[in-house]
A and B are shown apart, each in its own frame.
Chain A
Amino acid sequence: MPDWLTNIIGQDLSDGLAYITNGKHMMWYASFRFTIFAGIFGALCALTFGLLGAIMLNSNFFLFRLIGAAYANVVRGVPDVLFFLFFPLAFEQGVEYFLAKSNCTADELAANIGNWPPCPDAQWFLGTNEYLILASVSLGIVYGAFCANVIHGAMKSVNKGQLEAAKAYGMKPMQVMLRVHIPQMWIYALPGLSNIWMLLVKATSLLSLLQIADIVLWADRLGAPNYLKQVGLVHPDWRWKYYLVLFLFYILVTFLSERAFAYLRKKTGKGMVDEAVL
């Protein structure tokens, strides 16, 4: 801290300020990027999977409807923590299975029955970036199932007359879907989607389960009591203080999300025939 600042705010506050801006804390602040990335990329994945799921649920073809229903109902029933642990591991081992088939010699495979991976060349190393992408995709799959259900309902709510009019203009089914059905569906889907977004944001606090040094892991590390002067500031168990900061962060995200969804609702409601929903 520069002297002039210390003079203004006093020694205690200055020491405190120096402590919460040291390298360790900076790494904590920087780790918010993982959470933000997982939230945004996870939401994009969820929206994509949700749209695909809803289109399948709305399909006239029996098999597509079955796949859509299976996705929406089975994945919605599995706890997100479980899926979060299951999917990246299953994906990793799946990739390693293919690598083992192409890279391992028959001798290595025979010598390593029961060991995984069967040979060093079949090893896929997962770093933070790989885990972050797999974690976001898992979030996408889990919350995509909820989105599919919401979007399916919203598509059913679109005024039938609109679709018939589009058909009467000579649009093909795909054109009706893309030009009329999906654009008009958003206004009905937004309230449900905003709920799912909130759930997804909360689930981003699970990243540390996948060895990602995220905001929760750093809060644990920084708040853990320290008894040794060599290590740094000696302090008792301060984890609650750090968790409190995380509370505030998530409340801030909630607040900003509310504003963003209010804006979207206005925007998607423009020119809608059915004024009742606005």
Chain B
Amino acid sequence: MKKIILAAAIAVALSSAASAQTVRLGTEGAYAPWNFIDDSGKLAGFEIDLGNELCKRAAIECEFVANEWDSIIPNLIAGNYDAIIAGMSITEERKESIDFTQDYYPSDASRYAMAAGANIDFDNLSGIKIGVQGATIHASYVEANLAANNTVLSYETADQSVADLVAGNIDVLLADGSFLDPIIEASSGALKFGGPDILLGGGVGLGLRKGDDDLEAKLNAAIDEVKADGTLDALIAKWFEKGPFYSN
């Protein structure tokens, strides 16, 4: 047992030595075009480009780590990585456990997607099946406001929720407009938007452990820079044709 503890202690010493040199960025890798695994098997997407740009400007060495969405905050706190860059909206609820940088993607409306033939009375939602990705702002919203009269199905990944919408297992799907937009366009008329746009969350920011003020200051300064010189808007344009943008 002593040997195991010793080995563990050495492992800890080694891993903390490694993390002193590089900042590890945790992302999901299953939320295209924000972050995903490309054909070559590497992480790619808007947030990978942005993360690399921010690290370059802040003069820190960065490394990406893929982590499942539903454990992404606990594993940040546990120290498996130093920041979350995974399309995470800044909310009061999350601020109780972690800190956020300023937003790097403007507050984006959440929207309902449904089959093209669906006819749903959004003023009086009851008795329908609503899909959301678990542990998201949409899941909290639906749980709080719509769970009483409807069936809520929560999915581990956003892809699975879309697959179930296409398969007809849920009536509507509530998700980020920016995520649904290209999917509805690519569905060639099989899916449509409907109902009201819902404003949840205060933009998307990087999540940090509480008290990691040094890293927060560096990243905030870098975000200020990319906002000011238009780099951020160019990246948004590259990955989300329609924006939303910071400049008008």
- List residues of chain A with CB under 8 Å of any chain B CB: 22-27, 95, 98-99, 117, 120-121, 123-127, 130, 211, 213, 221, 224-234, 236-237
Question: A225 and B162 in contact (CB under 8 A), knowing A23-B42, A95-B8, A123-B78?
Answer: yes
Question: A224 and B12 in contact (CB under 8 A), knowing A211-B67, A211-B71, A231-B36?
Answer: no
Interchain CB contact under 8 A, B39 and A23: yes
Binds A, one of B50-58, B133-141, B182-190, B216-224: B182-190
CB contacts (< 8 Å) of B183 on chain A: these are 227-228
Interface residue? B9 (CB, 8 A): yes
Interface residue? B15 (CB, 8 A): yes
Question: A232 and B187 in contact (CB under 8 A), knowing A125-B12, A211-B67, A237-B163?
Answer: no
Interchain CB contact under 8 A, A228 and B12: no
Interface residue? B11 (CB, 8 A): yes
CB contacts (< 8 Å) of A22 on chain B: these are 39-41
Per a CB cutoff under 8 Å, which of A26, A130, A231, A234 touches B38?
A231
Interchain CB contact under 8 A, A211 and B68: yes
Query: Could you tell me the distance between the alpha carbons of A236 and B163 in the complex, rounded to whole angstroms?
Result: 8
Query: Could you tell me the distance between the alpha carbons of A95 and B163 in the complex, rounded to whole angstroms?
Result: 41
A136 to chain B, nearest CB (A): 15
Interchain CB contact under 8 A, A225 and B32: no
Across the two chains, which residue of chain A brings its CB closest to B162?
Answer: A225
Interface residue? B235 (CB, 8 A): no
Interchain CB contact under 8 A, B38 and A99: no
Query: Could you tell me the distance between the alpha carbons of A123 and B75 in the complex, rounded to whole angstroms?
Result: 11
Query: Could you tell me the distance between the alpha carbons of A234 and B159 in the complex, rounded to whole angstroms?
Result: 13
Query: Could you tell me the distance between the alpha carbons of A61 and B158 in the complex, rounded to whole angstroms?
Result: 58
Interchain CB contact under 8 A, B11 and A124: yes
Interchain CB contact under 8 A, A224 and B42: no
Query: Could you tell me the distance between the alpha carbons of A208 and B71 in the complex, rounded to whole angstroms?
Result: 13
Interchain CB contact under 8 A, A236 and B79: no
Interchain CB contact under 8 A, A24 and B38: yes
Across the two chains, which residue of chain A brings its CB closest to B18?
Answer: A125
Interface residue? B146 (CB, 8 A): no
Query: Could you tell me the distance between the alpha carbons of A41 and B8 in the complex, rounded to whole angstroms?
Result: 20
- What 3 A-B pairs come out closest when comparing CB atoms? A23-B41, A23-B40, A224-B159
Interchain CB contact under 8 A, A228 and B186: yes
B37 to chain A, nearest CB (A): 6
Interchain CB contact under 8 A, A124 and B8: yes
Interface residue? B33 (CB, 8 A): yes
Across the two chains, which residue of chain B brings its CB closest to A125?
Answer: B15
Interface residues on B, range: 35 or more
CB contacts (< 8 Å) of A120 on chain B: these are 16, 79
9 A-B residue pairs with CB within 8 Å:
A23-B38, A24-B41, A27-B41, A99-B12, A211-B67, A211-B71, A224-B163, A225-B159, A236-B166
A231 to chain B, nearest CB (A): 5
Q: Please, what's the 1-or-0 string for B1-39, where 1 marks a CB less than 8 Å from any CB in chain A?
A: 000110011011001100000000000011011001111
Question: A225 and B166 in contact (CB under 8 A), knowing A24-B40, A123-B79, A211-B68?
Answer: yes
Interchain CB contact under 8 A, B38 and A237: no
Interchain CB contact under 8 A, A224 and B41: no
Query: Could you tell me the distance between the alpha carbons of A130 and B157 in the complex, rounded to whole angstroms?
Result: 25
Per a CB cutoff under 8 Å, which of B11, B67, B163, B239 touches A230?
B239
Across the two chains, which residue of chain B brings its CB closest to A126?
Answer: B80
Interchain CB contact under 8 A, B187 and A227: yes
Interchain CB contact under 8 A, B41 and A26: yes
CB contacts (< 8 Å) of B16 on chain A: these are 120-121, 123, 125
Query: Could you tell me the distance between the alpha carbons of A26 and B37 in the complex, rounded to whole angstroms?
Result: 13
Query: Could you tell me the distance between the alpha carbons of A54 and B179 in the complex, rounded to whole angstroms?
Result: 57
B125 to chain A, nearest CB (A): 26
Interchain CB contact under 8 A, B182 and A228: yes
CB contacts (< 8 Å) of B163 on chain A: these are 224-225, 236-237
Interchain CB contact under 8 A, B182 and A227: yes
CB contacts (< 8 Å) of B39 on chain A: these are 22-24, 232-233
Interface residue? B160 (CB, 8 A): yes
Interface-central residue, B37, B68, B80, by most chain A CB under 10 Å: B37
CB contacts (< 8 Å) of A121 on chain B: these are 12, 16
B154 to chain A, nearest CB (A): 16
Across the two chains, which residue of chain A brings its CB closest to B185?
Answer: A227
Interchain CB contact under 8 A, B8 and A99: yes
B7 to chain A, nearest CB (A): 9
B26 to chain A, nearest CB (A): 12
Query: Could you tell me the distance between the alpha carbons of A158 and B112 in the complex, rounded to whole angstroms?
Result: 69
Interchain CB contact under 8 A, B32 and A221: no
Query: Could you tell me the distance between the alpha carbons of A221 and B163 in the complex, rounded to whole angstroms?
Result: 13
Query: Could you tell me the distance between the alpha carbons of A214 and B227 in the complex, rounded to whole angstroms?
Result: 39
Interchain CB contact under 8 A, B37 and A221: yes
